[in-house]
Amino acid sequence: MISIVDDDASLREAMSGLVRSLGFDAATFSSAEDFLQSDRVEATSCLITDVQMPGLSGVELQSQLISSGSLIPIIFVTASPERRIEARVREAGAIGFLIKPFDDESLVECLDQALRGRGRH
């Protein structure tokens, strides 16, 4: 199960379509809060999340998951790249940090790395 958290509905659906075309199940969420309150957290093999969202940000979502003992590999996507944020999430174990718009192959490479367990702490 690949979970996708992004407040942009069109990007969320595009990523979901790509993930499904690769043969994976996908669940989409419009907010970090919706994801955390869902029954999908435990079933998630990889999380793709936007960095900046209303409410809980992707960075805060990562912190909450780590605090709860979760080792879900996380791929971040953002339209507003900041080196400071990228360094912070990578230090905390992020698998990828993709800048929108990104090509499908970049996401596929990150998914492959995440699902093979590379970079997990």
Burial state string for 48-62 with b = 16 or more CB within 10 A and e = fewer than 16: bbbbebeebbbbebb
pLDDT digits (tens, 9 = 90+) for 97-108: 999 999 999 999
Q: CA 65 to CA 44: how far, in whole Å?
A: 12
According to CATH, the topology of domain 2-115 is Rossmann fold (3.40.50)
User: What pLDDT, on a 0 to 100 scale, did the predictor assign at position 117?
Assistant: 65
List residues bridging with 115 in a β-sheet.
none
pLDDT digits (tens, 9 = 90+) for 27-42: 999 999 999 999 999 9
Question: pTM of this prediction?
Answer: 0.94
pLDDT digits (tens, 9 = 90+) for 80-99: 999 999 999 999 999 999 99
